């Protein structure tokens, strides 16, 4: 059996587990199929996730259910203006009995960490997550501790209220692989929500995938084949955000800062994860298009003129995809 056939066989068997995981999340979460799938893609690509949506759209419930379905340890941090960095990562406490300092680990020490309403805390506290998100480790008063695998940060923010909120620093927002926009459910989905949530029988998810299986899937994602032409396509898309004139992107005049090299990495890993979810051993251009908005929407910084002209990041990405040649 060729190496490609062996890989395909392995991927097809794992795709069944992923499908079961989606179904398990669907027992609790009504609708939001695209959000569920892209959340799973983010986990498989070992990326952090930012969820933005109005209150009551099951953002917190989604991550909680994902932790239940994957046997992963879970902690929820409610971000507030008075939250301190030590409340997240932990601190050292002096033990008077033996005159030593003991480390008290914070809620960051879990597989899945939910940073709820992350924009409620000031930048100093938000930045406490930076090392954990990038290096998968935490430093507490000079001592460094590795975080258990898998480790992912899921953050939520409410786009409606601006009073008492703090925009995420660019250095931190770039560490989020995806920014997903959670929309309101349809009328039929709303009726299903009423059926599920207004009785004494509450839906719950069973644990169907282990920590080790998630790590195995994250390793398998990197084995998925991606052709040089698709790599060139990815790099060209990101390059067009930095050098729009070279691609004749008219909306490029509104771009102040283009996407960082992390965009290339996440587009590649995300496309590989898309292929794995679909049971394929190779990446195609549709995989890239499927996730490109989620990866670029929070990485493109537009000028104030864009607001005046009512031009959004979505419009800019639309034109880039039109101008960059697809393999």
pLDDT-derived band at 3, boundaries 50, 70, 90? low
Q: Tell me, what's the pLDDT at 161?
A: 66
CA-to-CA distance for 290 and 293, rounded, in angstroms?
8
The C-alpha atoms of residue 63 and residue 256 are separated, in whole angstroms, by 33
Ranges in the chain annotated CATH 1.10.8.80: 224-323
| Among candidate residues 259, 286, 274, 268, the one with its CA nearest the CA of residue 231 | 268
pLDDT per residue as tens digits for the range 235-275: 999 999 999 999 998 988 899 888 999 999 999 999 999 99
Q: Residue 36 CB: number of other CB atoms within 10 A?
A: 20
What pLDDT digit, counting tens, does each position of 90-126 carry? Answer: 888 877 777 777 888 889 999 999 998 888 888 888 8
253 vs 302: CA distance, rounded Å: 9
Per the prediction, the chain carries an average pLDDT of: 87
Confidence of residue 54 (pLDDT cuts 50, 70, 90): confident
Alpha helices (H) in the chain, listed in sequence order? 3-26, 33-44, 59-69, 85-89, 123-126, 130-135, 170-173, 187-197, 211-221, 228-242, 261-277, 285-296, 304-308, 313-323
Share of the chain above pLDDT 70, in %: 98
Contact 47, 266 (CB under 8 A): yes
With contact defined as beta carbons under 8 Å apart, do 183 and 53 qualify? yes
Domain 3-82+109-218: CATH architecture, name and number where available: 3-Layer(aba) Sandwich (3.40)
Q: For 74-97, what is each residue's pLDDT tens digit?
A: 899 998 888 888 888 888 887 777
| Helix, coil or strand: residue 68 | helix
DSSP-derived pairing of the beta strands 100-105 and 90-95: antiparallel
What CATH number should be reported for the domain whose range is 224-323?
1.10.8.80
**Residue 171, pLDDT above cutoff 80:** no
At residue 113, φ and ψ (nearest 5 deg) are -115, 120
pLDDT at site 1: 34
Ranges in the chain annotated CATH 3.40.50.300: 3-82+109-218
CB 166 within 8 A of CB 121: yes
């Amino acid at each position: 059996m060729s190496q490609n056939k062996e890989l395909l066989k392995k991927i097809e068997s794992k795709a069944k587990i992923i499908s079961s995981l989606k179904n398990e999340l669907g027992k609790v979460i009504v609708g939001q199929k695209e959000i569920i799938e892209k959340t799973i893609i983010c986990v498989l690509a070992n990326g952090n996730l930012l969820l933005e949506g109005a209150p009551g759209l099951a953002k917190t419930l989604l991550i909680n259910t994902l932790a239940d379905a994957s046997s992963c340890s879970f902690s929820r941090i409610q971000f507030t203006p008075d939250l301190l960095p030590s409340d997240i990562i932990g601190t050292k406490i002096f033990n008077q009995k033996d005159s030593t300092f003991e480390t008290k680990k914070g809620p960051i020490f879990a597989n899945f960490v939910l940073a709820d309403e992350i924009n409620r805390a000031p930048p100093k506290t938000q930045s406490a997550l930076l090392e954990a998100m990038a290096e998968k480790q935490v430093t507490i008063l000079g001592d460094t501790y590795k975080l258990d695998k898998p480790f992912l940060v899921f953050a939520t923010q409410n786009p409606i209220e601006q009073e008492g909120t703090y925009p995420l620093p660019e250095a931190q927002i770039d560490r989020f692989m995806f920014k997903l926009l959670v929309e309101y459910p349809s009328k039929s989905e709303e009726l299903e929500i009423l059926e599920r949530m207004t009785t004494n029988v509450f839906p719950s998810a069973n644990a169907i995938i282990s920590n080790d299986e998630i790590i195995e899937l994250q390793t398998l994602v990197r084995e998925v084949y991606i052709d040089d032409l698709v790599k060139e396509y990815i790099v060209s898309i990101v390059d067009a955000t930095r050098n729009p004139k070279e691609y004749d992107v008219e909306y490029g005049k509104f771009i102040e800062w283009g996407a960082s090299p992390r965009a290339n990495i996440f587009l590649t890993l995300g496309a590989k994860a898309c292929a794995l979810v679909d049971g394929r051993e190779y990446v195609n251009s549709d995989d890239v298009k499927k996730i490109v908005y989620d990866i670029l929407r929070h990485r493109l910084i537009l000028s104030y003129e864009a607001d005046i002209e009512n031009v959004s990041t979505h419009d800019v990405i639309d034109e880039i995809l039109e101008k960059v040649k697809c393999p």
